[in-house]
Amino acid sequence: MITLTFPDESKREFPDGVTGAEIAEGISKSLAKKAMVVKLDGELTDLAEPITADARIEIVTRDLPDALEIIRHDCAHVLAEAVQELFPGTQVTIGPVIDNGFYYDFAREEPFHPDDFPKIEAKMREIIGRDAAFTKKVWDRDEARRYFGEKGEAYKVELIDAIPQDQDIRFYSQGAWTDLCRGPHGPSTGKIGNAFKLLKLAGAYWRGDSNNPMLQRIYGTAWANDNDLKAYLTMLEEAEKRDHRRLGREMDLFHFQEEAPGAVFWHANGWTLFQALIAYMRRRQHEGGFVEVNTPDMMERGLWETSGHWEKFGENMFTTITPDERVHCCKPMNCPGHVQIFKNGLKSYRDLPLRIAEFGKVHRYEPSGALHGLMRVRHFTQDDAHIFCTEDQITEECISVNALILSIYRDFGFEDVRIKFSDRPEKRVGSDAVWDKAEDALKKACEAAGIAWELNPGEGAFYGPKLEYVLRDAIGRDWQCGTLQVDFNLPDRLGAFYIGADGEKHVPVMLHRAMFGSLERFTGILIENYAGHLPLWLSPVQVVVATITSDADDYARQVLDRLEAAGVRAEIDLRNEKINYKVREHSLAKVPAIVVCGKREAEEGTVNVRRLGSKDQALLPLDQAITAFVDEATPPDLKRAGVAKVA
């Protein structure tokens, strides 16, 4: 007999080899009907899989979050079957679940087209309607290779050859169609439902290697019900409207070009926004006791080998060989440079904590296919900082950094923030004992700060565990931005020490901290979160002064002078165009306020204020309008400090 513990902590004994399906049936027929898989000790498992040991068990029904992964995995298999039925000769390769959906890569000479999607979706519904059971098979390696070899599935044969010798070769069939798969799957295709949709096509190199053949990738999404599918598709439509690349062109912020892939060409407006973010962060860091430094963009390879970055990131680092045959690397991170600053000059325990920050430009190679506007680039700026402290100071410093990060996000309108605790990755430096100490220290700091977190297993940095701050934007998308990491390894590897109260040398703890993360990426997130309607304090051009007739030109210039003298970023439009044309043009560029000046306003000393996104107009005395603009253009941190001027 085996003992199974249910979510309500009740325990029941069952015969060895009982299945999840039998347990669900024994509880109630309605539960058995809704069940998709079981969760055993946190792992999703087929309902038909025999259970042979004591475990914690949960019956996962299709209305639970865990069921989505199964629905999408099942849907990917149905997509592959549908494609092969409709387009004979197509080879299937891999089809994993991804965030909010799935994809499948196909090898086919003829290109797919979005016009094929309705036909494929209809075939998928037909397959789902057959309600064929998903059944698992385990074959020996030779039998598996022979099966796919006879079918002409060369990619599947290659995948089989890559499976370690000590692992089973597992397959899942749905009716007569079979695929190589680790599982798990739901009971049958009918459990998928019809809340799915194919979304887009893309090219993808086999195994992500540009030396391999190009495959055709079909992306899709699947949900538990039609309402969830509709909500997701609506979000995608809204996301397309908010695409920062399109808005970047309309707002004249930046551009990209082939001569510098993954690098941003900032225009004047974009650079103004970028510098406004840096100025804000510089003030907040100063409040937090950080001093700003700057380290070289390029350093010798030996430093990166010692730090461990070369082993971890070497293939993604930009390098150059100088005439004297020394290999230099463009820095992918700022950490080793900051350790060098710490090491320069003898440090005492009285100097700790030492908090140093840098707006450091880092360089990381990303495949061309992964580049995506400001969100994924090869050259970007980090608001990086490192705190060198004693072990006794870890908790207090983590509490302080956490409060600062959350305060910053609130200033930008992000109230919904989730925190993930990422523990040791498989590829790491340092002993398990050191990692135990680092993870325990970060968990204690979270507890002391009252930080609620969810585990993100195996996603820590190679030198230490970290907290990841995930922001939810205006349309419900999640963005991982800030991080806080506890590092016992890097200072030791690079020979950093301080003199303790006992007169002996001690290795400092190094806390890595980023708040925006990548400034380029955070800028893209802001643009999309606000759909280009940035708060006035962030807008590159805060006010445009536009004339109705040339009679008001002189007055408009006076208004511009007054605004600029008050610190408002303003421009003037004296063109001989109709005012409605001017308003439309500046609205497209997402200027938050347009001040209209005509003959009447010039005579009365007033301005007519039009706000972006509103048809309303407000006729205000010039002094009152300027006072309102100055208040709105003052960054939130300066407002809290009682500074009534624009920084």
Mean pLDDT along residues 169-194: 92
pLDDT tens digits for range 89-107:
999 999 999 989 999 999 9
pLDDT(311) > 90: no
pLDDT class for 407, splitting at 50, 70, 90? very high
Q: Which of 84, 216, 285, 382 is catalytic?
A: 382
From 77, 156, 466, 521, the catalytic residue: 466
* Averaged pLDDT for residues 27-38: 92
**Closest to 171 measured CA to CA, from 146, 152, 190:** 146
132 confidence band (pLDDT: 50, 70, 90): very high
CB-facing half-sphere around the CA of 257: CA atoms within 13 A: 5
Q: What is the DSSP string of 115-140?
A: GGHHHHHHHHHHHHHHTPBEEEEEE-
Task: Tell me what pLDDT residue 615 has.
Answer: 84
- The catalytic residue among 386, 513, 569, 586 is 386
Residue 206 has pLDDT above 80, yes or no: yes
For residue 577, is pLDDT > 90?
yes
Has 335 been annotated as catalytic?
Answer: yes
446 labelled catalytic = no
Residue 358 CA to residue 516 CA, distance in Å, equals 12
- Residue among 523, 485, 526 at smallest CA distance from 380: 523
Residue 281, H or E segment:
helix 268-287
pLDDT in tens, 312-326: 888 899 999 999 989
Cα dihedral sign, 589-595-596-598: negative
Q: Which two tokens stand for residue 550?
A: 């040339």
Share of the chain above pLDDT 90, in %: 80
Q: Is 283 a catalytic residue?
A: no
Give me the pLDDT at residue 367, please. Answer: 84
pTM: 0.84
Q: How many CB atoms lie within 10 A of CB 247?
A: 21
168 contacts: CB under 8 Å, gap ≥ 6: 138
Amino acid at 41: D
pLDDT per position as a tens digit, 133-142: 999 999 888 8
* Tokens coding 147: 């099966």
Placement of tokens 């225009």 in the chain: 267
Q: Which amino acid is at 117?
A: F
Point out the catalytic residue in the list 335, 389, 481, 597.
335
Mean pLDDT of the chain: 93
Closest CA to 429 of 491, 486, 490: 490
Query: Which of 12, 170, 364, 420 is flagged as catalytic?
Result: 364
What pLDDT does 645 receive?
Answer: 58
SS3 292: strand
Q: What is the pLDDT of residue 592?
A: 96
Q: Model confidence over 368-406: pLDDT tens digits?
A: 878 899 999 999 999 999 999 999 999 999 999 999 999
Q: For residue range 596-645, list pLDDT tens digits in order.
A: 999 999 999 999 999 998 888 999 999 999 999 999 999 999 999 887 65
Both ends of the chain: CA-CA distance in Å? 72
Query: Active-site residue among 62, 73, 309, 512?
Result: 512
Residue 536 reports pLDDT greater than 80: yes
Question: How does pLDDT run across 416-433, given as a tens digit for each residue?
Answer: 999 999 999 988 888 899
With a pLDDT cut of 70, the percent of the chain lying above it is: 99
Listed residue (199, 171, 229, 224) closest to 102, CA to CA: 199
Which pLDDT belongs to residue 644? 62
Cα distance between residue 588 and residue 586, in whole Å: 5
A 10 A CB-CB count for 176 gives 7
User: Could you read off the pLDDT of 467-478 as tens digits, one per residue?
Assistant: 999 999 999 899
386 tagged catalytic? yes
Catalytic residue among 384, 473, 487, 573: 384
Q: Is 301 helix (H, G, I), strand (E, B) or coil?
A: helix
Residues 363 and 299: beta-carbon distance below 8 Å: no
